[in-house]
Structure 1
Amino acid sequence: MIRKILNDIKNGPTILTLSQIIDIIKSLQLLKVEEILKNDKDFLEILDLLVESYSDSAIFEVNNNNKFFLEKFSDWLLKLGKKYPIGRNKDDLSSYSDIFLKEM
């Protein structure tokens, strides 16, 4: 499933809208932790792509109706990263989670 999400992102638009990011966020949160840990490199690549789109343009789309999804995802990332350090650098995911709390 992680591979499919990553391929969908790579084959889609270069920069994602906030609604596309939120759809991907929801998919990621449905994954089993075992799958994330087994495919941590792909998971981190997905996060990098989401951060790039969010920082580039989606940050301007944040409002009271969609902020909840970003806050929930940020919290989920923090809990995941604290419990299971991910990737070669044993990332705690806090740098990723912080990005999605930023607003313009």
Structure 2
Amino acid sequence: KGVIVLSILMQSSNEHCNMLQTIIGFFLNSVHTPSRVIDLLSHAGISVAASTLLKMDESLIGQCKEKIIQAWKGFLIGTAYDNLDFTFKTKQPTLENGGRFLSTTSATFLPL
């Protein structure tokens, strides 16, 4: 409790002292917390704003893309894609919970 209070006080005096709020924000984002809740916690000083988390995600994705491009520059590679579809059915479907369908794509890079 004391660490959170101290972190909130430090962040209120210096906007760059937000490490704990960033970690909490990443956790909330990873468990699919609604952006309204994240923004509410942001106003309380417990998390960073949902828009900040979105910008950080985009920045990290961009950095990863650059690293992948640099790592594979000069190599001759082939790419194999695979589409995966998952259907999560429920025993008793209702209007609120009719089951879930998840579709994802994976890629493998093969050196030639």
TM-score of the aligned structures, taking structure 2 as reference length: 0.25
Could you say which structure has the higher strand fraction? 2
TM-score of the aligned structures, taking structure 1 as reference length: 0.26
Task: State the structure with more CA Rg.
Answer: 2
